[in-house]
């Protein structure tokens, strides 16, 4: 996308910084400063109880490298993210394009998408725990009726993580839909009309006109969903608490446990920082790919 | 620049968009349904999405005994509407609603303004250090709140002690302060501002409009769907925020709705019917706002300017 | 257009807010304010607030204010508050946190305080006193006590023709009954256990370990010893019911116990008095846990006492807070609280009060058994700061065995290794 050719240099920078400064100041104080303070914490031994927080240098990080549970947590987090992000985007795009029509009650449908996001993760957790219950849940009742034996789902170390993927895709679809709906509004109808008159099918039109114009929305979703997926906590807390047998222990859940259950906050901060570096790298790669893609198209 | 015609935005025509109609050769062979076939897809989809809410509604009308069954009771014997009045009376919810409202309003307005300014700058202005600043701001999204909450607490406490009482611990100002701008909002708007046709902005610049002027007069009006989406998301996050208010607020008169909801969650027992009733009541304002703002989600064709 | 309107709105709201938030300053003269954080709701909340009102009326120089904060989350809140120098004066803290919160400098060490005769410290059940003691510190005053016993569904027993639990039962009897009461076709189970691997799981296993004659840690608290023969025996019992008989329902949500019980899907629960009020739809009985035949452990159960802890926010507040806690935990108020809420009395003298027991059994049948069961609390969980790590290792081992993934001996051995590492670490 071509940038405006204005007077480069000082005036551009000045107006740029002028517009950005309120955000920079606010986020600097309440976002960056805590992040830096947490970095300091990761080099200390802190139990959150006593004010003494002795400096331990890289000790926490060293422990991290040898921690088998942390390695497990990384594995789970990666699997989760790899499934959740594309899943949510695809489902969201499908639902959003279905909803992006001037049919009657369209605002009702949109409202249902929105309202799913308003339901607390606790309620979501309860419902899913019930729906997937081995003995009394609806999903197994349905499976049984077609001859499939009951599955333990969230009670099974091998299935639980995948059920959480499904549960969170369900929970985040609303968000994905809302974002895509806003993006789809920016696709000019005239382009579709012209292509339709030329005889292109709905699917072709979708593929060649709509999808490319969704570039910015896609980047936003992929980045934001990834950042969130890598920091998964609430839904695990609301259902399995990292179990059974640690199969759903993801990084942030593990670090919360270390900080508030085991009273080892310095270690938790170190974990957060290791995670932070990873998220930063992945996000940078995503932006790089997007830029290359934009240049090519 | 004319104001968008609101009348065109509110009407929801039954007639499908031109882009939807099948090509002339296909039309005759299509079945004519009395309603758009998309309803057949949308209804089950929406139902799936709405299941949690339905469960909440059902539970909110049950008795304690019914709510304490597993598998859950799907149809309460005698729907207990008193749960709602009881839930309301259990805690000073009126006050909580007011507090939540004030916090959410301030956070919303602040975010819309500050993130628009910054989002536009990141989207369109090539200024020195832009990349580095963007990355730095984005970095704040990458450290979990469980880790940063204590430093934030200490910073907010400092503000309360040194700047103004109302901004410090145990005041709703403390709920607003850390949330007045988020990198999320900036990132979101940056992406959407990039989709606004650059030619329109260039034309205005040539006419001598300042950057700010371009933003306010051209970009923002064309970004209503994005702005209203951000507004909807910001309202949602702010209204439902639980962990931060939990840590910061101690006095009953400063509490927000989610804290009030925790009244029903005991150490050993959760009072599901009352909790769900309170939960449903707390969803209503967001729902109403969302429904009321529906028209802003639709982009009027007349505003793309491409029709000349 | 939009921008201007929004700006005006923002300014208006900010002005309103800042004006409204002016106040909050406390006067230096006037009654001393004491902030009490607790997790009581409904009946307990009402009774507690009543007690506070009573105290405020009779002590015009003190003003006690209370704040409800859900017990699960209050620790995060307290820790943050302590760091920010805005700790409460009195807080209700789970007993399991004692060894760790003992390290908080602002926490008042009660050992000198409660030795004064008017506190009647020895009137508290021994287990409570032990749970409040960490080394030479006493971190708080008992606020709540409970224990585990069998709660069973009378109708399910009658329908299956099985004799209800008796005080003479052994775990073999229990196992046999559970098996007879399990009917997969109906989705009915003999017994249910919280199986999320948390302390809830662990503290169901621990009394069995004690009854079998074992212990969690060595007497010097230096090594984990729960992989003894007794430990394996206790865990094997769980394994037999969970894996072999499949009569033990594994509740990984940790919430469904009372619900399933109330729906008649589970015949027995080993739980505490707090679940009794959820069982409104069934007729239940309460009985002590069975013993292991031939074991020296005899009848034992576990208790999870919680404490009122006091934070030092200056001499004046500290004194007022201590006075309040002394009054709150005095026999008279303990009796009033138990009468009003049905919670077990924390004091031995009150536990012998016939009038109280009769009334409690009337409102919540079975309460008397729980009160008497307090005499079976012979041991407490180790008061070491590494206990959370030990609990985690043990919890994972127990769940692993119940899921059929490991054998008891192997699982306990790995858990002991993990526990020993934790003990050596700090």
**What are the strands of the beta sheet with C189-194, ordered from one edge?**
C248-251, C189-194, C266-271, C149-153, C284-287
* Position with higher pLDDT, B144 vs C26: B144
What gap in Å lies between CA B153 and CA C86, rounded to an integer? Answer: 11
Residue C359: is it exposed, middle or buried by C-beta count within 10 angstroms (0-12/13-18/19+)?
middle
* Position with higher pLDDT, A53 vs B121: B121
B224-240 vs B183-193: helix axis angle to the nearest 10? Answer: 160
**Whether the predicted pLDDT of B1 surpasses 80:** no
* % of chain C residues with pLDDT over 90: 69
A160 touches chain B (CB under 8 A): no
Indicate whether A40 belongs to any domain.
Answer: no
* Position with higher pLDDT, C125 vs B299: C125
Summarised one tens digit per residue, pLDDT across range C194-244 is 998 989 999 999 999 999 999 999 999 999 999 999 999 999 999 999 999
Q: Which CATH number fits domain C149-302+380-425: 3.40.640.10, 3.40.50.1000, 3.40.190.10, 3.90.580.10?
A: 3.40.190.10
Summarised one tens digit per residue, pLDDT across range C172-186 is 999 999 999 999 888
Put simply, the chain B residues between 19 and 58 with a CB less than 8 A from any chain C CB are none
CB contact under 8 A, C35 and B247: no
By Cβ distance, the residue of A29, A103, A224 closest to B36 is A103
Which partners does chain C have (≥3 C-beta pairs < 8 Å)? A, B
**Whether the predicted pLDDT of B24 surpasses 60:** no
How high is the pLDDT of residue B130?
92
A281 touches chain B (CB under 8 A): no
| CA distance to partner chain C, nearest, from residue A206 (Å) | 33
**Whether the predicted pLDDT of B10 surpasses 90:** no
B5 touches chain A (CB under 8 A): no
pLDDT-derived band at B286, boundaries 50, 70, 90: confident
How high is the pLDDT of residue C140?
95
Indicate whether A58 belongs to any domain.
Answer: no
Over residues B83-90, mean pLDDT: 88
By Cβ distance, the residue of B49, B137, B202 closest to A112 is B49
**Whether the predicted pLDDT of B27 surpasses 80:** no
CB contact under 8 A, A112 and B140: no
By Cβ distance, the residue of B150, B164, B172 closest to C80 is B150
Indicate whether A2 belongs to any domain.
Answer: no
The total number of structural domains in chain A stands at 1
Indicate whether A60 belongs to any domain.
Answer: no
pLDDT-derived band at C327, boundaries 50, 70, 90: very high
How high is the pLDDT of residue A116?
82
Q: Following CA atoms B15, B19, B22, B23 in sequence, which dihedral angle do they give, to the nearest 10 degrees? A: 130
Q: Which CATH number fits domain B91-303: 2.60.40.10, 3.40.1170.60, 1.10.3720.10, 3.30.420.40?
A: 1.10.3720.10
Put simply, the chain A residues between 67 and 126 with a CB less than 8 A from any chain B CB are 95, 98-99, 101-120, 123-124, 126
Q: How crowded is residue C223: how many other Cβ atoms within 10 Å of its Cβ?
A: 13
CB contact under 8 A, C252 and A244: yes
CB contact under 8 A, C392 and A262: yes
How high is the pLDDT of residue B35?
66
| Domain harbouring A272, CATH code | 1.10.3720.10
Closest CA to B306 of B191, B195, B192, B190: B195
* β-sheet bridge partners, residue C62: C32
How high is the pLDDT of residue B21?
44
Interfacial residues of A (vs C; Cβ cutoff 8 Å): 47-51, 129, 135-136, 154-155, 157, 239-241, 243-246, 260-263
By Cβ distance, the residue of A19, A32, A178 closest to B140 is A32
**Whether the predicted pLDDT of C15 surpasses 60:** no
What number does CATH give the domain C32-139+304-376? 3.40.190.10
In this structure, chain C runs to a length of 426
Two domains, one topology: C32-139+304-376 and C149-302+380-425: yes
Q: How high is the mean pLDDT of chain C? A: 88
Over residues B233-240, mean pLDDT: 90
CB contact under 8 A, C399 and A48: no
| CA distance to partner chain B, nearest, from residue C18 (Å) | 6
- pTM (predicted TM-score): 0.83
Which chain B residues have a beta carbon less than 8 Å from that of A20? 117-118, 121-122, 127, 133
In this structure, chain A runs to a length of 297
Residues of chain A with pLDDT under 50: 1-6, 297
Task: Delimit the domains of chain C by residue range.
Answer: 32-139+304-376, 149-302+380-425
By Cβ distance, the residue of C41, C73, C86 closest to B263 is C41
CB contact under 8 A, B69 and C67: no
How high is the pLDDT of residue A225?
95
Q: Which domain holds residue A126?
A: 66-296
* Residue C266 zone, left/alpha/beta (φ > 0; ψ -120 to 50; rest): beta
| CA distance to partner chain A, nearest, from residue B125 (Å) | 6
Summarised one tens digit per residue, pLDDT across range C69-107 is 877 778 888 888 887 788 999 999 988 889 989 989 999
Task: Delimit the domains of chain B by residue range.
Answer: 91-303
Summarised one tens digit per residue, pLDDT across range C340-359 is 888 999 999 999 999 999 99
Instruction: Decide the pairing of beta strands C149-153 and C189-194.
Output: unpaired
Q: Please give the ipTM for the structure prediction.
A: 0.81
Q: How high is the mean pLDDT of chain B? A: 80
| CA distance to partner chain C, nearest, from residue A263 (Å) | 8
CB contact under 8 A, A284 and B135: yes
Q: Which of A30, A209, A287 to mutate to test the interface with B (most CBs of B within 10 A)?
A: A30
Report yes or no: C416 and C423 within 8 Å, Cβ to Cβ: no
Closest CA to C317 of C55, C60, C27, C62: C62
CB contact under 8 A, C17 and B173: yes
How high is the pLDDT of residue C22?
38
């Amino acid at each position: 996308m071509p940038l405006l050719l204005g007077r480069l240099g000082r005036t551009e920078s000045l107006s740029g910084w002028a517009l950005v400064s309120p955000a920079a100041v606010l986020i600097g104080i309440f976002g960056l400063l805590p992040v830096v303070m947490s970095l300091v914490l990761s080099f200390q031994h802190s139990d959150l109880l006593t004010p003494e927080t002795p400096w331990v240098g890289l000790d926490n990080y060293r422990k991290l490298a040898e921690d088998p549970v942390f390695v497990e947590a990384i594995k789970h987090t990666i699997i989760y993210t790899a499934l959740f992000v594309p899943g949510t985007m695809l489902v969201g795009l499908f639902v959003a394009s279905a909803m992006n029509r001037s049919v009657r009650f369209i605002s009702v449908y949109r409202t249902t998408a929105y309202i799913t996001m308003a339901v607390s993760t606790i309620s979501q957790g309860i419902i899913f725990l019930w729906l997937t219950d081995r003995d009394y849940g609806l999903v197994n009742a349905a499976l049984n009726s077609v001859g499939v034996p009951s599955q333990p789902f969230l009670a099974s170390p091998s299935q639980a993580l995948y059920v959480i993927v499904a549960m969170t895709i369900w929970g985040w679809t609303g968000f994905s839909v809302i974002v895509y709906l806003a993006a789809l509004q920016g696709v000019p109808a005239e382009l579709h009309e012209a292509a339709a008159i030329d005889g292109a099918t709905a699917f072709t039109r979708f593929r060649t006109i709509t999808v490319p114009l969704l570039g910015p929305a896609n980047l936003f979703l992929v980045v934001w969903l990834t950042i969130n997926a890598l920091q998964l906590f609430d839904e695990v807390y609301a259902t399995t608490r990292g179990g059974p047998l640690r199969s759903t222990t993801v990084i942030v859940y593990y670090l919360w446990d270390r900080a508030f259950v085991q009273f080892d906050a310095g270690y938790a901060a170190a974990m957060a920082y290791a995670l932070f570096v990873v998220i930063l790298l992945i996000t940078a790669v995503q932006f790089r790919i997007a830029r290359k893609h934009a240049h090519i198209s | 620049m004319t104001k968008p015609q609101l009348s065109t935005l509110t009407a929801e025509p039954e007639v499908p968009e031109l882009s939807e109609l099948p090509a002339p050769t296909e039309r005759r062979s299509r079945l004519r349904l009395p309603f758009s076939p998309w309803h057949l897809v949308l209804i089950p989809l929406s139902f799936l999405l709405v299941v949690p809410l339905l469960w909440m509604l059902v539970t909110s009308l049950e008795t304690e005994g019914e709510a304490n069954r597993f598998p859950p009771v799907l149809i309460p014997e005698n729907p207990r509407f008193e749960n709602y009045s009881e839930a309301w009376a259990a805690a000073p919810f009126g006050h909580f609603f007011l507090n939540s409202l004030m916090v959410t309003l301030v956070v919303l307005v602040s975010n819309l303004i500050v993130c628009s300014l910054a989002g536009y700058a990141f989207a369109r202005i090539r200024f020195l250090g832009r990349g580095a600043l963007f990355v730095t701001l984005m970095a704040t999204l990458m450290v979990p709140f469980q880790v940063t909450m204590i430093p934030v607490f200490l910073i907010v406490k400092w503000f309360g002690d040194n700047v103004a009482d109302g901004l410090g611990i145990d005041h709703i100002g403390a709920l607003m302060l850390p949330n007045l701008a988020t990198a999320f909002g900036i990132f979101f708007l940056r992406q959407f501002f990039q989709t606004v046709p650059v030619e329109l902005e260039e034309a205005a610049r040539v006419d001598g409009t300042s950057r700010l002027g371009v933003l306010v007069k051209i970009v923002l009006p064309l970004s209503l769907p994005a702005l209203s989406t951000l507004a909807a998301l910001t309202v949602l996050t702010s209204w439902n925020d639980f962990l931060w208010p939990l840590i910061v607020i101690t006095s009953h008169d400063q509490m927000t709705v989610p804290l009030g909801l925790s009244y029903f969650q005991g150490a050993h027992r959760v009072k599901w019917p009352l909790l769900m009733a309170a939960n449903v009541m707390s969803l209503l304002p967001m729902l109403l706002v969302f429904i009321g703002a529906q028209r802003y989600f639709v982009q009027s064709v007349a505003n793309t300017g491409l029709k000349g | 257009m939009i921008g201007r309107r929004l700006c005006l709105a923002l300014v208006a709201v900010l002005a309103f807010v800042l004006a409204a938030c002016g106040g909050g300053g406390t006067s230096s003269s006037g009654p001393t304010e004491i902030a009490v954080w607790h997790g009581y709701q409904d009946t307990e909340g009402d009774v507690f607030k009543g007690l506070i009102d009573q105290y405020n009326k009779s002590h015009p120089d003190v003003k006690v204010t209370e704040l409800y904060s859900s017990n699960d989350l209050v620790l995060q809140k307290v820790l943050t508050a302590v760091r920010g120098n805005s700790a409460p004066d009195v807080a209700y803290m789970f007993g399991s946190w004692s060894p760790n919160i003992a390290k908080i400098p602002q926490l008042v060490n009660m050992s000198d305080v409660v030795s004064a005769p008017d506190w009647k410290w020895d009137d508290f059940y021994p287990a409570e006193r032990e749970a409040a003691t960490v080394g030479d510190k006493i971190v708080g005053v008992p606020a709540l006590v409970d224990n585990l016993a069998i709660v069973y569904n009378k109708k399910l027993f009658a329908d299956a023709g099985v004799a209800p639990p008796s005080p003479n039962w052994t775990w073999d009897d229990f196992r046999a009954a559970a098996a007879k009461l399990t009917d997969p076709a109906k989705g009915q189970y003999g017994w249910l256990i919280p199986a999320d691997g948390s302390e809830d799981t662990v503290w169901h296993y621990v009394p069995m370990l004690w009854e079998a004659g074992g212990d969690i840690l060595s007497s010097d608290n230096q090594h984990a010893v729960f992989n003894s023969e007794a430990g394996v025996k206790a865990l094997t019992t769980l394994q037999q019911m969970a894996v072999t008989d499949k009569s033990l329902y594994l509740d990984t949500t940790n919430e469904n116990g009372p619900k399933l019980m109330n729906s008649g899907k589970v015949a027995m629960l080993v739980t505490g008095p707090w679940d009794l009020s959820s069982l409104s739809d069934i007729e239940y009985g309460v009985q002590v846990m069975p013993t292991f035949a031939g074991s020296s452990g005899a009848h034992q159960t576990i208790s999870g006492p919680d404490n009122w802890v006091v934070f030092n926010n200056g001499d004046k507040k500290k004194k007022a807070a201590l006075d309040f806690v002394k009054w709150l935990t005095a026999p008279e108020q303990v009796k009033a609280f138990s009468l009003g809420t049905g919670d077990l009395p924390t004091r031995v003298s009150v536990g012998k009060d016939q009038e109280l027991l009769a009334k409690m059994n009337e409102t919540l049948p079975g309460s008397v058994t729980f009160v008497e069961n307090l005499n079976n609390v012979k041991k407490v969980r180790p008061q070491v700061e590494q206990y959370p790590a030990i609990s985690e290792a043990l919890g994972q081992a127990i769940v692993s065995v119940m899921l059929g993934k490991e054998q008891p001996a192997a699982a306990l051995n790995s858990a002991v290794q993990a526990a020993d590492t934790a003990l050596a670490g700090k």
